[in-house]
Amino acid sequence: MLLKDKVVLVTGASQGIGKAAAIGCARHGADVVINYHGDDAGAADAVAQIEALGRRAIAVKGDVAEASTAGVFVRAAVEAFGVVDVFVNNAGICPFHAFLDMPPEILERTLRVNLHGAYYMVQAAANQMVRQGHGGSIIAVSSISALVGGEMQTHYTPTKAGVHSLMQSTAIALGKHGIRCNSVLPGTIETAINREDLADQNKRDYMAGRIPLGRLGEPDDLAGPIVFLASDLARYVTGAALLVDGGAFVNLQ
């Protein structure tokens, strides 16, 4: 019960890592407000799973790429549950595409959702935490891609380096308010974002073989690290980045 009676907000929580993080926080006693974009059934299922744990949850639909979505989301959380204690910026897209003929629309959309969306959301959550006056914890779901490149991800990796950098700068800007800002850097986690890419069994085997812990990640692998950073166990941790990749990053050979 590391988050007993805390109010946790998670963006992009209708499936994948965000959904696992939302449910993981509820398992530790939190009430949860989730944002999502299109998957109504997934969002309803996340709410149902949280309620089944005896906690409260609401889902608020909205496109994080729109600046106005952030204020709507945070206000809905405050109206429903009174405060914002923890904010998890997770929503993101990765439409795999080669570099030389990258369509401007794909580049623009990826930057808008992953980076602008994170900025607006973190800003809105931070303003609410500052108004409340008792600190808080902000966690961004960055990626191992903040540290390494990807041939088909030239539009995506800069956004993940960007949200990690945002956490470093906001850690400084918000430290005086007792608000901690950290990022988690997942390795390859099996979700809808990479389903097509991982459909190739040879590629899966190659990737799993490069991971010291011997398997690809699953969304629930992120829940523990996010709960930890959200909780008072991490009370002196800010501006940090936690790799959650089964050891993939350190395995050069």
Q: Which residues are catalytic?
A: 143, 156, 160
CB of 108 or CB of 232, closer to ligand NAP: 108
The answer to whether 93 and 110 have CB atoms below 8 angstroms apart is yes
Could you say whether residue 38 binds ligand NAP (CB under 6 A)?
yes
Q: What are the φ/ψ torsions at residue 128 (nearest 5 degrees)?
A: -65, -45
Rg (CA), the chain: 17
Q: Structure tokens of 191?
A: 């979700």
Could you say whether residue 91 binds ligand NAP (CB under 6 A)?
yes
Residues 6+ apart with CB under 8 A from 69: 35, 62, 63, 117, 120, 121
Stretch that binds ligand NAP, among 2-10, 22-30, 58-66, 200-208 (CB under 6 A): 58-66
CB of 176 vs ligand NAP, minimal distance in Å: 28
Stretch that binds ligand NAP, among 71-79, 86-94, 171-179, 199-207 (CB under 6 A): 86-94
- Cα 159 to Cα 71, 101, 112, 219, distances in angstroms: 22, 19, 9, 20
Q: Which of 137, 157, 170, 188 binds ligand NAP (CB under 6 A)?
A: 188
CA dihedral (104, 121, 248, 196) in degrees, to 10, reads -50
CB of 79 vs ligand NAP, minimal distance in Å: 20
Name the residues that contact ligand NAP, by CB under 6 A.
11-18, 35-39, 42, 63-65, 90-94, 113, 141, 143, 186, 188-189, 191-194
